[in-house]
Structure 1
Amino acid sequence: METSASTAAMNRLQPLGISQAKEVCLNLTPAELVEEALKNGEGTLTDTGALMADTGKFTGRSPKDRFVVKDESTAESVWWGDINIPFDAQKFDQLHVKMVAYLADKKIYVRDAYAGAHPDYQLKLRVVNELAWHNLFCYNMFLRPEQGADTSWTPDFSIICAPGFEADPAVDGTRQSNFAILNFSKKMILIGGTGYAGEMKKGIFGVLNYLLPHEKNTLAMHCSANVGQEGDTAIFFGLSGTGKTTLSADPNRGLVGDDEHGWMPGNAGIFNFEGGCYAKVIDLSREKEPEIWDAIKFGSIVENTRFIPGTHTVDYANKSVTENTRTAYPIHYINNAVEPSVAGVPKNIFFLTADAFGVIPPISKLDKSHAMYHFMSGYTAKVAGTEVGVTEPQTTFSACFGQVFLPLHPTKYAEMLGQKMEEHPNVNVWLVNTGWSGGSYGVGSRMKLSYTRAMITAALNGELNDVEFVKHPIFGVEVPTSVPNVPTEILDPRNTWADKEAYDKTAASLAEKFVANFQKFADFANEEILAGAPKVEAVANA
């Protein structure tokens, strides 16, 4: 255990402007960090040995308080707007000085780690934390250097995270007291005023989403990935509630990663950015998610959960703090995890949507044009009743299934996906609706998980290679006429509606929503992407 402001520790901190600290704890083990967290009153142990900690006021990311420094290196390359909010370089320097001064009399936890499981694409990291449990989070979520490895490196990127430091918006240029600011020129992320650990993880994801396409011709993806026994790789894109975690967790396939991956040039394949998993645990049960359940043990973290009264057993149904309760653990806590987390070129790509309108087919195949269009659309739907005043399903569009993490314009990522499909003509792209069938929410019913699994299995096993496909008249996607172990009548969504005219109207309405959402991209998208748009007039002329 290397503590105190030793020469080795302070040498690591000098490039970050930190020359003074009460005590520096460098690269502590998980057991040491748990001990520190308990001693500091940062959390308590559950009956499975996991560390339970609260994130404080913020129980999720704060997108409106995420900034990117606008300077010569980023002015022309970053997609500026309400996703990437510009921040003044001098204000960044001012905040940096203030944070360093704030930490001068604190005990701090420093971690050397890296992102990117492929050695040619590694981003060396140095993280400075005010809280021990945050440092444990970074141990779990980032990749861990081999024991005994020399990590006295010059980092490619650094994070300074001090939840106790609050900005003064009037002076510091922030919106409010909390902030997360990326500076690509200084190669540094400053996070303050928030205890939500996910800001660190997603900060580095944003960095890689900028650097990899920009410098390495590598597509950065917000997706899960697994690999079959024959070495066939599958990746799964999908927003919250679409089943991404559930459907990628397959006991017959190795888990490459659950959230962030890069697709390398040529035949090099894909790699995980991370060394761990950050899974939602609301309503978690051993029956539904046995892999996640068993991973919550000593060394793992559970965030914003509560105990069953009188016990140290977590009540996963408890939403009193937030619905965004989570666990963070190293990927090797999952039995079928692949380490190192690299795999071959994807053979199958799944876009998952929970279409609450009951319009999208349960599975369909996308050509290059439709794949790029649906990738940029990133569609799913909220069901009625989730918010006050919501009486019917509402569309949710998030470009590339991760809009809030994209420093570059979404067309850049979509065009890269199209290039990958050209380079690898055998890759199949599937749109899978895990939502409603037989009518919209309130009339129809949710697609059975067993049917969705059967459709994905059939796609993975090549059982759809020789079946007949029919083009959907509005969305233009190719719908199989048969899938093993799935009733044929549910494959065409129109057939499942008692009122066919109501289906046509609802489908036309959803198509119009797609087109309206895409207007903000239309001036940047090429003709091939635009050709993937739904044909609204197909219904009007029917």
Structure 2
Amino acid sequence: MRRFNMDNFYKELGINTERGEHKIYLDSSRSFLVAEAVRKGYGRLTSDGALSVLTGKHTGRSANDRYIVKTETTAGPVWWENNLLPMTSETFAALKTKVINYLNQAGDLYITERSVGAHQKHNIGARLITSHPQHALFSKHLFREKSREFNDTDYTILHAPELKLDPSEFGTKTETAVVTCLDTNTTIICGTLYAGEIKKSMFAAMNYRLPEENILPMHSGASRLENEDVSVFFGLSGTGKTTLSTDEGTYLIGDDEHGLSDEGIFNFEGGCYAKTYKLSKATEPEIWDASNRFGAMLENVVLDEQTGKVDFDDKSIAENGRSSYPLSFIKELETSSKGKIPKDIFFLCADAFGVLPPVSKLTKEQAMFYFVLGYTAKLAGTEIGVKEPQATFSPLFGAPFMLRHPSVYAELLGQYLDKYDIKVWLINTGWTGGAYGEGQRFPLKVTRKIIRSIQANKLDDVAFENDPIFNLSIPCAVEDVPGELLKPQQTWQDSSAYSEKAKELASSFHKQMENFGDFYQKNLSGAPTHK
């Protein structure tokens, strides 16, 4: 444990060190932060030693409370249509004053100084100032060791999770706000205990900055094989990004955030943030072991009151239960957090309509199309009012964190595909034999066999057939995968019902992409045949 030694930065920021019986702790050890969280009643230890905490009503990101300070500098580059709310510089300054005053009265403070980005040049320093030790622990997990001395290009996160704002005072929609000022490199998080806001605020900062340096930021997992070949896995939450990038026999580079440059890929993070619902040792042994040990932090999981055992199959608190832990908890790990230019890129989607093939090979135009499309599906019951599967689209497989227009990132992807002949695959980790409720989800073992066959180049000499509705190129055979699974129509009892549902989904792809005007027209050859 290190006591805080005030330097000029924090003095100028307005942080008060005269705190009476309270203290400021700088870059404390994980064990100290765990002990503090338990001592203060923020969490308890499971029977296996992990810290279990609850985040109250916010068990996920507050997507409708995301603000960017709008100035002459940011008015043009920011993709405001992406549910990003503008805030004036004056309002932000007033909010910053309020939050600093709150932190100065909050008792003990916990500060971490970390880095984001495993690259000597392309990284951002991140100072977190928080009133809660478990959030400092989270930043120790998800951010990296400080790699250099900080300067004025680095970020400060003012974290007041239990400060509830008065919407009439700051013009916010609710008592919660996540606000970033890109001109001053400052993020303020108020009114939410959900730790994921911390990591995603810095992901957004990297996503804004890196394209100016011709680096593609990616909401993706990544791993390498023994022969150094690298695979990248794009996907929305619940599609298998973390699971597939942490597969046995591969070395994890990272599970969620990466950058692609001419030097190769590099992880932004120092840890993992895995979903825990239905986590089992049998199917995800690495994630299971990392989550069930001292030092890991679990959010919104259910514990047996008597034994302290975690029931990962119980989603009564939240389906979005989470586990955070450092990369060092993973046994099969690429310790440099870097890799070569990827050989294969996988777009993961969970098609709840059961009409997309489990694997198809994409042309460059299709890759551009599906990258901006960002398709997956919401399931019945996951949100109030959702009675049956609904198509949902998140451009770039991570739109909420992308501060620039999708075409900026897509053009960068296209440049790298051309330059390095990277293969792109669309992988359906969703349903087969019918829609959700009728068919079944593709077994994880089937998806893994497909991925492993591609990584081993076993599809290089296989014949492909064209799907007449989606214009996708489907392999005729994949080793150890039943042939009928490769062609969705053959898995449906009613072939005409399949065609009707497939055409309906294909039409929705066109309708979604029409929102992107010129980009859509330019990459129309990558769209489904049926319109």
- State whether TM-score is above 0.5: yes
Farther-moved stretch of structure 1 (362-371 vs 392-401) = 392-401
> Is 1:102 matched up with 2:102?
yes
For residues 265 and 497 of structure 2, the distance between their equivalents in structure 1, rounded to whole angstroms, comes to: 43
Task: Decide whether the 8 Å contact of 1:233 with 1:348 is kept in 2.
Answer: yes
Q: How does 1:141-220 map to 2 (within 5 A)?
A: 141-145=142-146, 151=149, 156-213=154-211, 215-220=212-217
- Alignment-derived partner of residue 246 in structure 1: 243
Q: How large is the Cα RMSD of the aligned pairs?
A: 1.9
> Is 1:475 matched up with 2:476?
no
> Is 1:505 matched up with 2:506?
no
- Alignment-derived partner of residue 231 in structure 2: 234
User: Does the residue aligned with 1:395 lie in a helix, a strand or coil?
Assistant: strand
Mark the CA change 1:446 to 1:107 in structure 2 (over 3 Å): closer, same or farther: closer
Q: How does 1:246-265 map to 2 (within 5 A)?
A: 246-264=243-261
Q: Which amino acid aligns with 2:307?
A: T
Task: Decide whether the 8 Å contact of 1:68 with 1:86 is kept in 2.
Answer: yes
The TM-score, its normalising length taken from structure 1, stands at 0.93
User: Does the residue aligned with 2:354 lie in a helix, a strand or coil?
Assistant: coil
User: Does the residue aligned with 2:308 lie in a helix, a strand or coil?
Assistant: coil
- Alignment-derived partner of residue 119 in structure 1: 120
Q: CA deviation at 1:161?
A: 0.2
User: Does the residue aligned with 2:303 lie in a helix, a strand or coil?
Assistant: coil
Deviations 1:58-82 (A, max 9, x none): 1111011110100011000000035
Deviations 1:217-241 (A, max 9, x none): 1111111110000000001112223
Q: How does 1:454-473 map to 2 (within 5 A)?
A: 454-473=449-468
- Alignment-derived partner of residue 311 in structure 2: 315
Q: CA deviation at 1:331?
A: 0.7
Q: How does 1:426-465 map to 2 (within 5 A)?
A: 427-465=422-460
For residues 367 and 64 of structure 1, the distance between their equivalents in structure 2, rounded to whole angstroms, comes to: 35
Deviations 1:159-217 (A, max 9, x none): 0101132222111121111111010101000111111111110000111111011x211
Q: How does 1:347-426 map to 2 (within 5 A)?
A: 347-384=343-380, 386=382, 390-425=386-421
User: Does the residue aligned with 1:121 lie in a helix, a strand or coil?
Assistant: coil
User: Does the residue aligned with 1:346 lie in a helix, a strand or coil?
Assistant: coil
> Is 1:61 matched up with 2:61?
yes
Q: How does 1:33-72 map to 2 (within 5 A)?
A: 33-72=33-72
- Alignment-derived partner of residue 530 in structure 1: 524
For residues 33 and 434 of structure 2, the distance between their equivalents in structure 1, rounded to whole angstroms, comes to: 52
User: Does the residue aligned with 1:531 lie in a helix, a strand or coil?
Assistant: helix
- Alignment-derived partner of residue 90 in structure 1: 90
Q: Which amino acid aligns with 1:407?
A: L
Q: How does 1:262-281 map to 2 (within 5 A)?
A: 262-264=259-261, 266=262, 268-281=263-276
Task: Decide whether the 8 Å contact of 2:241 with 2:256 is kept in 1.
Answer: no
Q: Tell me the number of residue pairs that the alignment of Structure 1 and Structure 2 aligns.
A: 526
For residues 358 and 162 of structure 2, the distance between their equivalents in structure 1, rounded to whole angstroms, comes to: 47
For residues 162 and 387 of structure 2, the distance between their equivalents in structure 1, rounded to whole angstroms, comes to: 41
Q: Which amino acid aligns with 1:166?
A: K
Task: Decide whether the 8 Å contact of 1:282 with 1:325 is kept in 2.
Answer: yes
Deviations 1:327-385 (A, max 9, x none): 11101101012112000101001111121222111111001000010111111123445
For residues 119 and 85 of structure 1, the distance between their equivalents in structure 2, rounded to whole angstroms, comes to: 33
User: Does the residue aligned with 1:67 lie in a helix, a strand or coil?
Assistant: strand
Q: Which amino acid aligns with 1:144?
A: E
Farther-moved stretch of structure 1 (15-24 vs 455-464) = 15-24
For residues 150 and 477 of structure 2, the distance between their equivalents in structure 1, rounded to whole angstroms, comes to: 58
Q: CA deviation at 1:33?
A: 1.4
Task: Decide whether the 8 Å contact of 1:21 with 1:104 is kept in 2.
Answer: no
Deviations 1:298-334 (A, max 9, x none): 2111112232131222222332322211111101101
Structure 2 unaligned spans of 5+: none
Q: Which amino acid aligns with 2:350?
A: A
Mark the CA change 1:335 to 1:78 in structure 2 (over 3 Å): closer, same or farther: same
For residues 330 and 438 of structure 2, the distance between their equivalents in structure 1, rounded to whole angstroms, comes to: 39
The TM-score, its normalising length taken from structure 2, stands at 0.95
> Is 1:31 matched up with 2:31?
yes
User: Does the residue aligned with 2:101 lie in a helix, a strand or coil?
Assistant: helix
For residues 84 and 390 of structure 1, the distance between their equivalents in structure 2, rounded to whole angstroms, comes to: 24
Mark the CA change 1:81 to 1:494 in structure 2 (over 3 Å): closer, same or farther: same
Deviations 1:484-516 (A, max 9, x none): 112223222223333332222221111111111
Q: Which amino acid aligns with 1:277?
A: C
Mark the CA change 1:99 to 1:352 in structure 2 (over 3 Å): closer, same or farther: same
Task: Decide whether the 8 Å contact of 2:469 with 2:502 is kept in 1.
Answer: yes
Q: Percent identity?
A: 44
User: Does the residue aligned with 1:14 lie in a helix, a strand or coil?
Assistant: helix
Farther-moved stretch of structure 1 (403-412 vs 240-249) = 240-249
User: Does the residue aligned with 1:161 lie in a helix, a strand or coil?
Assistant: strand
Farther-moved stretch of structure 1 (80-89 vs 92-101) = 80-89
Mark the CA change 1:505 to 1:21 in structure 2 (over 3 Å): closer, same or farther: farther
Mark the CA change 1:431 to 1:21 in structure 2 (over 3 Å): closer, same or farther: farther
Q: CA deviation at 1:391?
A: 4.8
Q: CA deviation at 1:20?
A: 4.5
Q: CA deviation at 1:531?
A: 2.4
Mark the CA change 1:339 to 1:60 in structure 2 (over 3 Å): closer, same or farther: same
Mark the CA change 1:227 to 1:87 in structure 2 (over 3 Å): closer, same or farther: same
For residues 363 and 110 of structure 1, the distance between their equivalents in structure 2, rounded to whole angstroms, comes to: 46
User: Does the residue aligned with 1:241 lie in a helix, a strand or coil?
Assistant: coil
For residues 131 and 395 of structure 2, the distance between their equivalents in structure 1, rounded to whole angstroms, comes to: 34
Task: Decide whether the 8 Å contact of 2:474 with 2:486 is kept in 1.
Answer: yes
Q: CA deviation at 1:445?
A: 2.9
